[in-house]
Amino acid sequence: MAESTETEIRYVGLFRRLFAIFYDTFLLTAILLVIAATIMTINHGEPIETDDSFRPAYVFFMISICYLYFAWFWVHGGQTLGMKTWRISLQSDDGKNISWKIAAIRFFSAIVSWGIFGLGFLWSFFDKKNRCWHDLSSKTVLVDLR
């Protein structure tokens, strides 16, 4: 009986992907709440209002924190905490870890994938590797580690 020396790669489906995102959203929300509370304390207990001159910097800072949360984990091991829980790994199409540049492309194109009524995520039903728009634009794939 011949043994296969190459293991078959299994790609992550949409529902496991969404469960990992849901898990990461809870963790990221906790981080953002601590930061918002800290900024509010520095601002003498007042929130940053929409007409405040610091609002654009505040929004940019919070988006940067979101980017750093995901990108740090993607670049350093290919798994966020939610991805570790669901045994999912992010890799480039050639099986290597991704760079900061690729992480930025993936992060911002994922916003577009969500922003257009989630169509970028639904695309995974039509792709043979279950890739979404942000996977395609960043040349990455989610691999099932089970």
Tens-digit pLDDT profile for residues 9-48? 899 999 999 999 999 999 999 999 999 999 999 988 988 8
Residue 48 lies in a domain: yes
Q: Is 96 within a domain?
A: yes
Provide the whole-model pTM.
Answer: 0.87
Q: Which domain holds residue 138?
A: 14-144
Would 106 be classed as within a structural domain?
Answer: yes
Question: Does the residue 6 lie in any domain?
Answer: no
User: Considering the domain boundaries, does residue 3 fall inside one?
Assistant: no
C-alpha dihedral (75, 77, 81, 84), degrees to nearest 10 = 140
Structure tokens at 136: 């395609």
Asked if residue 2 belongs to a domain, the reply is no
Q: Structural domain tally of the chain?
A: 1
118 belongs to a structural domain: yes
Domain membership of residue 40 (yes or no) is: yes
Average pLDDT over residues 56-74: 96
Q: At residue 8, does pLDDT exceed 90?
A: no
The backbone torsions φ and ψ at residue 142, rounded to the nearest 5 degrees and listed phi first, read -95, 125
- Smallest CA-to-CA distance from 88 within 142, 136, 124 is with 142
